[in-house]
Amino acid sequence: MIALYVVAAIAVFAAVRAILERNTGRRFPHANVLNFAVAGSLVLLLDHPITLVAAAAYFVGSTLEANAIASTYAGGVKR
């Protein structure tokens, strides 16, 4: 039970840090911590084998989004 509270507290902390950070590039690592915490709390809240697939899908999806946004921020693919 304490594990869930620790993970939830870190999620809130990371969300606040991501909002307060002024530099776009340095925002991504804070959002990354938030994704870890949300994926972890999903599994801690719903103890079922299918939750693993949901958490992995959420995590991979949010990582792909961060990847896409960061690459757009970097200027995208030069043609």
Partner 1 sequence: MLGELLHILAAAIISWILFVAVDIFFKLPETGGVVGATAIARDIEAGGGDLAGGTMMGNIVCSPDASAGTLLAACGVYVAGIPGGLAAATLVFIGNRICHDPGYAGTTGAILATFVIYGFTLVGFAASDFIAGMVIAILTIQGLSHTHASRLLGRLWRVRE
Binding site for partner 1 (CB under 8 A): 2-4, 6-7, 10, 13-14, 17, 23-26, 28-33, 36-37, 39-40, 43-44, 47-49, 51-53, 55-57, 59-60, 63-64, 66-77
Contact call for residues 49 and 76 (beta carbons, < 8 A): no
Contact call for residues 28 and 16 (beta carbons, < 8 A): no
Per-residue tokens: 39: 């994926």
Compare residues 19 and 31 and give the one whose CB is closer to partner 1: 31
Compare residues 19 and 63 and give the one whose CB is closer to partner 1: 63
Task: Tell me the closest approach of the beta carbon of residue 58 to partner 1, in angstroms.
Answer: 11
| 8 Cβ contact list (under 8 Å, min separation 6) | 37, 41
